[in-house]
């Protein structure tokens, strides 16, 4: 092993707003004290109960992905396991997510964008 994953960093126009979106989705603590990072208006973190850390970095002139347009690709996406896709969809839409592809229920997942435009999937477990 060469390294340990420290966190996943997402570029966005409003770091604190996106941290709060993901906190409502995953739980955890926004901007928990951590010697690895200095918090500022340009950087926010979310420490989840699973140990995953997401960080949100302000990007000037941020251009969100336009899924599935290859001219502005998704770059990466996050998958979140849920037991009830319909209920989880209601909840993420209420938080400010948008539907990119509801898919067919038998497929077992649906695709959304967070408030900054990053794609993510809700996957039935």
% residues pLDDT > 90 (the chain) = 62
Query: Is there a contact between 112 and 92 (Cβ–Cβ < 8 Å)?
Result: yes
Task: Return the DSSP state at 96.
Answer: T
By the 10 Å C-beta count (0-12 exposed, 13-18 middle, 19+ buried), 95 is classed as middle
Secondary structure (H, E, C), 29-84: EECCCCCCCCCECCEEEEECCCCCEEEEEECCCCCCCCCCCCCCCCCCCEEEEECC
* Domain span at 12: 8-58
CATH number at residue 39: 3.30.720.120
Rounded to two decimals, the pTM is: 0.84
Q: What is the pLDDT of residues 20-58, one digit of tens each?
A: 999 999 999 999 998 888 889 999 999 999 999 999 999
- On whether both 13 and 54 belong to a single domain, the answer is yes
Q: How many structural domains compose the chain?
A: 2
Query: Is there a contact between 93 and 85 (Cβ–Cβ < 8 Å)?
Result: no
Residue 65 included in any domain? no
> Does the pLDDT value for residue 67 go beyond 90?
no
Query: Is there a contact between 5 and 16 (Cβ–Cβ < 8 Å)?
Result: no
Position 105 confidence tier, pLDDT thresholds 50, 70, 90: low
What does the pLDDT read at residue 35?
85
What does the pLDDT read at residue 106?
67
Residue 118 included in any domain? yes
CATH number at residue 96: 3.10.180.10
- On whether both 14 and 46 belong to a single domain, the answer is yes
């Amino acid at each position: 092993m060469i390294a340990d994953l420290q966190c996943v960093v997402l570029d966005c126009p409003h770091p604190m707003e996106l941290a709060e979106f993901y906190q409502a989705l995953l739980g955890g603590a926004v901007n928990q004290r951590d010697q690895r990072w200095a918090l500022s208006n340009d950087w926010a973190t979310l420490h989840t109960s699973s140990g995953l850390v997401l960080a949100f970095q302000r990007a000037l002139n941020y251009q969100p992905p336009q899924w599935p347009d290859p001219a502005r690709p998704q770059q990466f996406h996050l998958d979140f396991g849920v037991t009830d896709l319909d209920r989880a969809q209601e909840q993420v839409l209420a938080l400010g997510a948008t539907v990119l592809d509801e898919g067919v229920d038998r497929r077992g997942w649906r695709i959304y964008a967070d408030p900054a435009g990053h794609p993510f999937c809700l996957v039935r477990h």
